Amino acid sequence: MESTICTIGFAGKTAEEFFGLLVEAGVTRLIDIRENRAGQLSAFAKYPDLEFFLARLCGIAYFYEPRLAPSLEIRETYRTRKDWPAYESAFLQLMKERGVPQCLDLAMFAGTVALLCSEPGPEQCHRRLVAELLRQRGVELKCNMKILHLTINKKKQSSRTKRRTFE
Instruction: Tell me the per-residue pLDDT of 115-155, one tens digit each, with 9 for 90 and over.
Output: 999 999 999 999 999 999 999 999 999 999 999 999 997 66
The rounded distance, in Å, linking the Cα atoms of 159 and 53 is: 18
The rounded distance, in Å, linking the Cα atoms of 120 and 122 is: 7
Q: What is the pLDDT of residues 71-104, one digit of tens each?
A: 999 999 999 999 999 999 999 999 999 999 999 9
pTM of the model: 0.90
